[in-house]
Amino acid sequence: MIPYPNISPEIFRIGPFAIRWYGMMYLAGFAASYLLVKYQLKEKGIVLAKDFVDSLYSYLILGLLLGARLGYVFFYDFGNYLRHPLEIFAVWHGGMSFHGGLIGSALAAFIFCRKSCVSFLQIADLLTVTAPVGLGFGRLGNFINGELYGRITDVPWAMVFPAGGPLPRHPSQLYECLLEGVLLFVILWSLRNRGLKKGGLVALFLILYGAMRFIAEFFREPDAHLGFVFGPLTMGQLLSSAMIIAGSLIVFFKRGD
């Protein structure tokens, strides 16, 4: 067993205001994505309006945060929020969904691209390549917070998480960081200039992320209030299956282009 490092979730505090690692991970993910998209535009010689990327990320940040929160509300705890609707706004109590954030940011990008008369799929491919960086940072934030920990195990690298009881568990946040963050980024980045059709990287991301998350969920403790929702499957696995289907449909409908 490996001791859990028990890092303080707060980087520093000034009076009632605290700067937390999790929030910094969000900022680092957006900053890295922004720089990588700018790099790709220059690399591919794509010329857009001067403030296009800056405005796009304003839409993306809003779409991701709203989508992540509403996704958690609808996918993971709808009954509770239906009884206590004001809790929807209590984001400091936690509760953000990746799948909801993906939907929210995709809708925001689509609206902005349509408004700007720019190809949505072309921009989506550029963004998709950078998404794993933010995912990796996010999982590190989960690890520091000691949340979304894994199931009980006796593997040599198991850890006892403060909120997970006295038994050792899989550090599933690190599994996801390596799979959905590092490995997925390496794959997508290496394929960005391989002449894939528009939307090809989006489809690949949906299929690969869906598959990686589906596997990782077998090591992750299901949400206590939700548990298993379909036989041995979790809500995360059902949503990830939907991603795989969506990515496969994009491949099917784009095959003749």
- The pTM assigned to this predicted structure is 0.91
Q: What radius of gyration, in Å, describes the C-alpha atoms of the chain?
A: 19
Measured distance CA(145)–CA(87) in Å, rounded: 21
Q: List the beta bridge partners of residue 152.
A: 169
Measured distance CA(2)–CA(157) in Å, rounded: 5
Burial of 128 (0-12, 13-18, 19+ CB in 10 A): buried
- Is residue 119 within 8 Å of 113, Cβ to Cβ? yes
pLDDT at 168: 97
Measured distance CA(176)–CA(135) in Å, rounded: 8
| C-alpha torsion 237→243→209→240, nearest 10 | -10
| C-alpha torsion 229→145→149→160, nearest 10 | -140
142 Cβ neighbours under 8 A, 6+ residues apart: 22, 148, 173
Q: What is the mean pLDDT of each run of 10 residues along the chain (257 residues)?
A: 90 83 91 96 92 95 92 84 79 77 95 95 96 95 93 97 95 97 98 92 97 97 85 92 96 78
Q: Which of 198, 143, 196 has the alpha carbon at shortest distance from 171?
A: 143
- Orientation angle between helical segments 21-44 and 120-145, nearest 10 degrees: 150
Q: Which of 176, 173, 170 has the alpha carbon at shortest distance from 153?
A: 170
Q: Which amino acid is residue 59, in one-letter code? A: Y
Where would I find the H helices in 98-234?
98-116, 120-145, 172-176, 184-191, 200-216
Tokens of 235: 């809500």
- Orientation angle between helical segments 120-145 and 200-216, nearest 10 degrees: 20
pLDDT at 212: 97
Domain ranges of the chain: 1-7+118-257
pLDDT at 37: 97
